[in-house]
A and B are shown apart, each in its own frame.
Chain A
Amino acid sequence: MAGETLEPTQTDEPTIPWHRLPVNKETLIGYASVLPVLILYFIIAIGPVAYAVNASFHDILLLNPQWEWAGLGNYYEVFALETFWASLWRGIIYMVGSTLIQLAFGLWLALALNKITRAQKFLTAVVFTQYLIPTIVLAFAVSYMFTPNIGLGVLQNLGSGVLWGADTAPLTFSQTWAMPLLILVGTWKFGVFITIFALAQLRAIPDRFYEAAQICGANRIQMFRDITLPRIQGVILVAVLLRSIFMFNKFDIIFVLTQGGPGEATTTLPILAYQTAFTGGNYGLANALAVVMFLFLAIGAVTYFILFNPSEEVETST
């Protein structure tokens, strides 16, 4: 693996008078080793956020990027925008809805898979396939499954006349069904995220805990409450935080399946920011949206940490 890039960790450099320098050699090599990460991180994370903050104070048209100072104008516009509040609300519905269903589904699955010994490799493969399959591929398949009157439209066909009318347009174009469909697809794809997290933790709980409880006459609900739950709750709180963040930021599934439509029925903040920048060409406003999104998320995450403190957990000591 390309030797040159590893140079910072080399130590044999007799020409440098280490004993006369104010820093310790160890420290310097240590910092050098994380330098590439730091540089990348600044280029891709800190840099763009600073750039976005700067851009949000300007009026910029994407086709003719002349930066005109606008002060807080873009922010006034964002908060006055009716679509902003509506999109925020829809984003919250999408985030909370899909995270809760993912949690229920993922946890149920983890508890069921935990003690199954047969076909474990196959079952695990199914779990990982859901996690690894490209989102866009899934979105294509789902959009065809919900297209009426074609041979591929199996699910639209199965539900027609039962859940929705026989002549309904594709569900992705339905005011009522588009959002539930997106939540469902998100659950299919990401519910296993919680499963995998929880499963790793569940497998670490020694059987004798349950045996002891059994001898004492505990039933399964009591065992779950007193043995299982305390040991997985830390990891679940972390997984829920991560999933909430990811679902709030979700762009690809929504954009590919509905593009925020029909009308604005599934326009969440990421979709709104994208459309503002690249369809509407109002780059300054889009950056203000991105900054506001980021701030909301940061506040949400910090609040979550204060309320639940996910790093607290019961250690399973042998």
Chain B
Amino acid sequence: MSTDTPSDTDGIFGLSYRGEKKLFARLKQISAAIFVVVGVFPVYWMLQASLTTRERASSGIVSWIPTAETFTLENYEVLTNPDVALYVINSIVVTLGTIILVVLVSLIAGYGLARFNMPQKENFARFLLLGYLFSPIVLGVPLYLIWQNLGLLNTRLGLIIALTAISMPFAVWLMWKYIQTVPEAMEESAWVAGASRWQGFRDIVIPQTQPAIIAAALFAFALAWNDFTFAQILLPSNEASTFAPGVFRLIQRGYDIARVDVMAVSMAMTLPPLVFAYFMQSYLLKGFQIRSL
């Protein structure tokens, strides 16, 4: 076996095979290091800013790490500010509502697409993908007057419906593809044992589909938690506003919200994504692995 040295000079840059291998290992490590620094830095900066006193943050000296004198937890008191607290609560309500609605509707549709043979179902699924072409602005501008006429403007329900529909194409495809991998024979044996279709769905399909449900929920979370555009257009009043447009307007109006306070709220809003990014990786990957086109 001469796999180690197939040829000594055929590598790129005229390097031997071993040299090439070493070079690439080194390049890989350097790339990963650059990536970690670039990727972590904004989050780190936000964290350290949120822990720095207001005086220090607005002085001309860049502070890389809060020292004993400049360290403070006071900035997080901004979360008790009635306006900010309202925004955060609204964000949570909208996000939860979106997740629940997305999971329910996509689970049913995914099951239907996977298990029933109706005409045109592939075309229906492809038609859903057109949804990617509609941008929040293209939909939001007309929706503004539609929602106003329907009385849904400035309501959290209005935003939930809009966000659910936007997350729908992906969630339905995910469920459809995933339920196809659940063997139908399991359901059939339940039917033989006397279960109805609904019981089979509830007791066999839903438990088996759990990873896809979690993945769909995570992507719906990402969309709803992230949303600025729809909330900015559909929730123009202060009371209904979610976090993103709410805090943005506070800054715009020049209200008394210090930069360090903004960083503290931002850090609080980043916490759930951080937790999910670390502990829910396998589910997120599942979402990216479906070949949806």
Contacts and interface: CB of A to CB of B under 8 A. Distances in A.
Given A33-B108, A33-B112, A49 B270 contact: no
A41 B32 contact: no
Interface string A192-222: 0000110010000000000100111101110
Nearest to B134: A45
Contact of B111 (A9, A242, A248): A9
Contacts of B134: 45, 48-49, 294
B7 interface: yes
Contact of A131 (B12, B165, B222): B222
A52 B141 contact: yes
B56 interface: yes
B255 interface: no
A153 to B, nearest CB: 7
B172 A37 contact: yes
B201 A9 contact: yes
A130 interface: yes
Nearest to A138: B42
B10 interface: yes
B39 A145 contact: no
Given A9-B111, A144-B49, A286-B141, A37 B281 contact: no
Interface in B45-68: 45-46, 49, 52, 56-64
B42 A142 contact: yes
A159 interface: no
Contacts of A287: 141-142
Counting contact residues on chain B (CB < 8 A from A), the size range is 35 or more
A124 B281 contact: yes
A221 B24 CA distance: 12
A65 B146 CA distance: 12
Q: Which of A123, A141, A219, A298 has the most CB of B within 10 A?
A: A141
Contact of A48 (B45, B100, B146): B146
Interface stretch (A72-80, A108-116, A166-174): A108-116
B145 A129 contact: no
Contacts of A52: 138, 141-142
A150 B273 contact: no
A179 interface: no
B288 A123 contact: no
Q: Which of A44, A150, A214 has the most CB of B within 10 A?
A: A44
Interface in B74-103: 100, 103
B164 interface: yes
A15 to B, nearest CB: 15
Contact of B20 (A108, A220, A238, A291): A220
A219 B23 CA distance: 13
Contacts of B269: 134, 137
A134 B225 contact: yes
A128 B280 CA distance: 10
Interface in B198-217: 198, 201-202
A71 interface: no
B154 interface: no
Contacts of B10: 217, 219
B43 A274 contact: no
A66 interface: no
Nearest to B52: A151
Given A150-B57, A157-B62, A214 B109 contact: no
A59 to B, nearest CB: 14
Nearest to A204: B289
B214 to A, nearest CB: 13
B244 interface: yes
A29 to B, nearest CB: 6
10 tightest A-B contacts by CB?
Answer: A33-B112, A30-B116, A249-B135, A44-B165, A128-B277, A132-B273, A112-B31, A30-B118, A48-B142, A252-B228
